[in-house]
Amino acid sequence: MLESILNSDSRLLLFLNQFHSHFWDHFMWLVANKWTWIPLYILILYIMQRGQGWKKAAIASVAFALVIACTDQLCGSVLRPFFHRYRPSQVQSGISSLLHLIDGYKGGKYGFPSCHAANSFGLAFFLVLYFKSRILSIFIMVWAVLVSYSRIYMGVHYPSDIVVGMLVGFAVSTLIYFTLKWLYASRLQIAAQYNIIHPCCTQQHMLFLSFGGIILIFAMLVTCFFI
């Protein structure tokens, strides 16, 4: 049964990886680059500061950083060395010659689960819980899917790498969010004072943040026309 699942995983990867072009190669490369999203992270911090002030935003940003650090280390330093599953782009996978790779990029040796998926979905799930905004939730989940899909497009992850990475992101972000909520509400008793778990951000703030993210993605698309 496991062999059947792995074969289906490979077939799905080959199917999804076949849709490529020069334009989308550049776009997906930008999407997968962690530095591309620095403006989005800055915008998130700016909105938090506008809605809560620097002191509250600083505490929340530490929680965000903790989510990313935990998902990245759990996937990269614990799960990958344990499972030892080669990336599809590596020769040992047996399908590397069938994949479309961007400029020969193969990534690291092991790829299960995906750190990109764990990190992006970890941040996305935390923001969904934190802001409780339908508008932002839709945008940030689409963003996480886009970042994760870029790794399949690039041929460096199986779909199952992405799915498990997503589950890791969900588990870590949920655990940290509710732990933080419990600490503030039950032990430190300053949840009401700092309003950290339920930030005072308006729908206008959420629209601005989501629109800013969309503008960033649009700018990336435009940039790819000139590369």
For residue 76, what pLDDT is reported? 94
pLDDT tens digits, one per residue of 80-138:
999 999 999 999 999 999 999 999 999 999 999 999 999 999 999 999 998 888 899 99
Q: Token digits for 13? A: 């990867």
Tell me if the bond preceding 199 is cis, omega within 30° of 0.
no
- 32 neighbors 150 (Cβ within 8 angstroms): yes
Q: What is the DSSP string of 24-88?
A: HHHHHHHHH-GGGGHHHHHHHHHHHHHHH-HHHHHHHHHHHHHHHHHHHHIIIIIIHHHH-PBPT
pLDDT tens digits, one per residue of 2-45:
778 888 999 999 999 998 999 999 999 999 998 999 999 999 88
Domains contained in the chain, CATH given: 22-224 (1.20.144)
Give the number of other Cβ atoms within 10 Å of residue 203's Cβ.
11
User: pLDDT grade, residue 188 (50/70/90)?
Assistant: low
For residue 38, what pLDDT is reported? 94
Whole-structure pTM value? 0.91
For residue 93, what pLDDT is reported? 92
> In this structure, which long-range contacts are made by residues 34-41, counting pairs with CB atoms below 8 Å and at least 24 apart in sequence?
36/220, 37/147, 37/216, 39/212, 39/216, 40/143, 40/212, 40/213, 40/216
Does the pLDDT value for residue 227 go beyond 90?
no
